[in-house]
Structure 1
Amino acid sequence: MLRDIDPMGDQASIIGGVIEFIKEVQQVLQSLESKKQRKSLSPSPSPSTPKSLHLPAKPNPMGEVGACFNSSLADVEARISGSNVLLKIVCQQIPGQILKIVAVLEKFSFDVLHLNISRMEETVLYSFVIKIGLECQLSLEELATEVQQSFFSEPVFLNEI
């Protein structure tokens, strides 16, 4: 059945794509569950004051370094993988938000190599693979903070770019 979907792809690449998709869906589900728990434990903060959980950059069991920020609007994770940065953002679908995120990345000399957008109802998972530009002086924590702050700024529309 998978071969019928992509007759030119080999079995390994098709199965690899399916596995990656399942992992992304599981991550969205975990994020939704944690958001549900946070909402039930505390009153929701006002949108003008970002409430974030700041985790210091530290290696995970796979030896990668990362930083996470969570708020009522978005969960942002940035981690090094080889010579690139993996940036994952789970948030409610907000018109123009992807443009603000890309603008932040370009502002700090990151090049977007790959972007995957997965949507489940009103929740979106943006998965970026970005290359660090030569002029970039940002740490992973600063990158995660800047992306998180883009959720608290005014919307950007295509006609404004």
Structure 2
Amino acid sequence: MTHIAIERNRRKLMIEYLAVLRSLMPESYVQRGDQASIVGIAIEFVKDLEHLLQSLEARKLKLPQGITGPNYDIEDATTSSEFPPPPLAQFFVYPQYTWSQIPNKVSRQLSELAAGFQTLHLTVLHINVTTTDPLVLYSISARLEEGCQLTSVDDIAGAVHHMLRIIDEETVLC
């Protein structure tokens, strides 16, 4: 008898949580009311918010003299060959494929990024490209493949940062 009461309480809590989750999203996102749809739509909503945040941060970083970022100023960029470590974030993402026209320079960088990730034994799950003159913002979600030698977040960040530095140097030379 208690297991029935426990299950009812669990379902009641789940319904309450889903109602709260649904209330946090705009009406335009909520099409159906079943549990799987609400969770999937919430994930999509968070992805859209992440993209909007990245676009706003990219615009905020633009300065007349150049581009700066967190813990990175123009003086450091000109006096040091080191770049700031890239920011890392982890989000719930499921594969979604979108096509849009992007400039040739960005397209070349993107193909080099994809090849570099494959070399590092990282599977690209999602790529989001935002361009605002003169900045190109890549948001990449990846998963470790079997056989990947990178064992920590710092190792992955260092390897990706090194790859981006090489791609950036090649882009400047072209």
Alignment of 1:61-140 (within 5 A): 69=85, 76-81=86-91, 94-95=105-106, 96-138=108-150, 139-140=152-153
Q: Give 5+ residue unaligned stretches, structure 2.
A: 1-26, 33-37, 95-103
Residue equivalent to 2:163: 150
Report the identity percentage. 15
Q: How many aligned residue pairs are there?
A: 118
**Matching residue's letter, 2:157:** A
User: Deviations 1:1-50 (Å, cap 9, x if unpaired)?
Assistant: x96xx9xx8397498254233212133235446717711x45614xxx73
10 and 21 in structure 1: CA distance in 2 versus 1, 3 angstrom threshold: farther
- Higher share of residues assigned strand: 1
- Higher share of residues assigned helix: 2
- 1:38 and 2:89 are equivalent in the alignment: no
Q: What SS class does the counterpart of residue 161 from structure 2 fall into?
A: helix
**Matching residue's letter, 2:147:** E
Tell me, in whole angstroms, the C-alpha distance in 1 between the residues paired with 2:170 and 2:77. 25
Instruction: For CA contacts below 8 A with separation 6 or more, give which structure has more relative contact order.
Output: 1
Q: What SS class does the counterpart of residue 139 from structure 2 fall into?
A: strand
Q: What SS class does the counterpart of residue 78 from structure 1 fall into?
A: coil
Residue equivalent to 2:57: 27
TM-score by length of 1: 0.54
Tell me, in whole angstroms, the C-alpha distance in 2 between the residues paired with 1:147 and 1:114. 16
Moved over 6 A (4+): none
Tell me, in whole angstroms, the C-alpha distance in 2 between the residues paired with 1:151 and 1:140. 16
Q: Give 5+ residue unaligned stretches, structure 1.
A: 54-68, 70-75, 85-92, 157-161
TM-score by length of 2: 0.50
The alpha carbon displacement at 1:105 in A equals 1.2
The alpha carbon displacement at 1:102 in A equals 1.6
The alpha carbon displacement at 1:81 in A equals 4.7
User: Deviations 1:78-108 (Å, cap 9, x if unpaired)?
Assistant: 3445799xxxxxxxx9552222222221112
**Contact 2:131–2:137 at 8 Å: present in 1 too?**
yes
42 and 152 in structure 1: CA distance in 2 versus 1, 3 angstrom threshold: closer
Tell me which of 128, 141, 146 is aligned to 2:154: 141
Q: What SS class does the counterpart of residue 59 from structure 2 fall into?
A: helix
Select the structure of larger CA radius of gyration: 2
- 1:51 and 2:82 are equivalent in the alignment: yes
Instruction: Give the superposed CA RMSD.
Output: 3.9
136 and 35 in structure 1: CA distance in 2 versus 1, 3 angstrom threshold: same
83 and 20 in structure 1: CA distance in 2 versus 1, 3 angstrom threshold: closer
